[in-house]
Amino acid sequence: MTAVFGDVWFAVLSKLSHYLPLDILQWSQKMPITSINPATNETLQTFTSLSKDESLNAVATAGEAYQSWRKTSFAERKKVLLAFATELRKRSDEFARLITLDMGKRISESRREIEYCAEISDFYANGAETFLADQPMEDVDANAYIRKEPIGVLLGVMPWNFPFYQVVRFAAPNIMAGNAVMLKHASSVPQCAQAIAELFDECGLPKGVYTNLFIPSEFVETVVADSRVQGVSLTGSEKAGAAVAALAGKNLKRSVLELGGNDPFIVLEDADIPKTAELAVKGRVVNAGQSCVASKRFIVVESVADEFLTAFKEGMSKLKIGDPMDEDTTLAPLSSEEAAVKLLQQVQSSIDAGATVLLGGDRPDCEGAYFNATILTDVTPDMPTFDQELFGPVATVYVVKDEAAAIELANRSSYGLGGSVYTKDIQRGQRVAEQIETGMMFVNQPTRSQAELPFGGVKNSGYGRELSSLGIQEFINKKLIHLGPKT
C-alpha cells in the first residue's frame, strides 16, 4: 500500500457508514473483536484478530484447497451444501439466538433468516450443475461451446445487518461453482462469523474451502493483492464499496458490490390505501429498518396523501419497543449504540433544516440502542438527509402532484437498488416500475429477496448480481472451447 493510497483507505474507513464496524481502525493495533448485545450493551464474547502472517497462511491454505475443490464433482459439492441446509434447519433456534445476541434482530426475524439461508443453500445445491452446464455456440460456423469454470479464491466482505444471509448468498453459489471462499465479516457479529465457519466444517467441507477471517482492516489489501485471490464481493456502504473496488481494480481482480439504498415506495391515487399503509409499515421497519432494501422514501400522490399518512402514522405508532428475544416485540434495537447516535444526528439535521416530525424523531428513555418509530415530512432537496440512507425505523414522506412527479422524484437519487409502486391497475404499476432507475422494482409489495430472483442495483447502489442463476455466474471463467469449423 502506498502512502497516498493508505491515507485515502484509512480516510474512507474512518467515515464508513452503518454497514462496517465503527471500531475498524483500531484493528491496526490488533484490538479484540467483541460481540456486544445492543439490547443491553452487555459484552458477550471477545475474539482476537489474526496477525499478518496468520492471514497470509490462511490465503495459502485456501489456495491449496481450491486446487482440489475445483476438481470435485457437482454431486460431491451438493452433498456438503445440502447437509449445511439440513443443519441450519435443525439448529435454527441456536443460530437465530446468535443473530439476535450479536446485532439485535427480533428473534422471529432471526429464525426466518436462518430458514432463508437453508433455502438458498438448497437452491444452489440443486441448481448449480444446470446453471453451469456447457453452453453450445449455435448459429455460428464453429463446433464450439462455453465451459464455465471456477476462477480461484474469493474474498467476501460482509455486513452485520443479516449476519448469516449475507454470507450464505455469497458463499453457497461460489462453493458450488468450485471456488474457495474467504470471509471477512463485520467485527460486531463475531459469534455468527465463527458459527458459520464451524458449521461448514462439521458438514464436511474440506479445510480452506471456506475460511472465516478475523483480520484487521489494513490486511484487506494484502489479501486482495495475493495472486491466489481472484475476486472480491462487498456488501456495505458506497464509501466502503469505492475503497474495495479501488483495491480490486488496482490488482486486476473481479468485484461485485451491493451497496446502500434509498428505496422509493410510490403510492398512486388508485392504490388500496389501508393495505398499502400496512405494507408501508412492514417495508420500513423490517430488521428495525436496517436493510438496504427497506422502503425509505414514501412518495404519495396528493389526492390520497392525507388518508395514507393517517393510516401509516397509526401503524407506525403501534410498534412495540422491547427485548428482541420477546416474541411480542415488534421494534427491536438498532445494531449498536453508535448506530443509534448516528441516526439521531441524521434525523435532527433534517429537523433543524425545517423538516416536520409527524411521529417520533427521538430515542426512548431506556437502556439499549433503541430508536423510536419516526415519520418526517417536508423534507426538501437542500436538506442533508434528502439523499442519504437512513438506517433505522425512520420514514420520509413526500407528497407529489401526480404519477409523473412521483417517477421524477423517485429517480432523483444517487441510489438505485430497489423500489415499489402501489396501484390497483397492475399494467399501470408495470409501466411505472419500468421507468424507475433501480435494479429491482416490485408492484404492490415492498422490495424483498428470493433465492430464485436476481438481487442487485445500479448507480451508487453498486453493480453485479447475487442470487438466482445470475449470482453463480459472477466469479466463473466462461471459457471458449473451439473444436474446429462445423463444415
Residues designated catalytic = 258
Buried b (16+ CB within 10 A) or exposed e, 365-396: eeebbbbbbbbbbbbeeebebbebbbbbbbbb
- Distance between the two ends of the chain, CA-based, in angstroms? 54
| Amino acid symbol at 357 | V
Q: Which residues contact 127 (CB under 8 A, 6 or more apart)?
A: 469
Query: Using alpha carbons only, what angle is made at residue 335 by residues 397 and 234, rounded to the nearest 5 degrees?
Result: 85
Name residues whose C-beta falls within 8 Å of residue 294's C-beta, 6 or more positions apart in sequence.
Answer: 261, 263, 283, 284, 285, 286, 287, 446, 447
Radius of gyration (C-alpha) of the chain in whole angstroms: 23
Distance of CA 386 to the CA centre of its chain: 22
- State how far the Cα of 52 lies from the Cα of 215, in Å rounded to an integer: 8
DSSP code at position 288: G
Residue bearing cell 460481540: 35
Grid coordinates of 390: 437512513
Q: How many CA atoms lie within 13 A of 430 on its CB side?
A: 3
